[in-house]
Amino acid sequence: MKHFPFWLPIAWALGTASLAQAQPSDGGGAPPRGGPPAEAVAACKGKTSGASCSFTGRQNETLSGTCDSPPEGPPGSNSSSTSSTTGVLACRPARPSGPPPQR
């Protein structure tokens, strides 16, 4: 009688866990990786393009701006069209005038 390889269940569990992490979530409504943060999308839920919005940023600061459609394509691409066909709006923070803050 042959013995069942003890490492087989471990390899299977690790393989399926890594595949589960690589799959996009269904129904989460979050934009793809590289898109606007979920907080920016939530700030514009139920609003129209150009509406005022605000959300809490990564450093716990309040960011104010306007609702806008994020650009299509991967970050850094030269595509100037917007993803208005998807209907996703996100709060685009207003850029302050003047030089960037010093660290």
Q: pTM here?
A: 0.51
Q: Residues 68, 87: contact at Cβ < 8 Å? A: no
Quick one: pLDDT at residue 10?
73
If you average pLDDT over every residue of the chain, what do you get? 74
Angstrom distances, CA of residue 10 to CA of 7, 18, 21, 22, 55: 5, 12, 17, 19, 43
**pLDDT tens per residue across span 22-33:** 545 444 554 456
Q: Which residues are paired to 52 by β-bridges? A: 66
Region class of 86: left (phi > 0), else alpha (psi between -120 and 50), else beta: alpha
User: 74-102, pLDDT tens digit by residue?
Assistant: 555 554 444 444 578 999 999 876 677 77
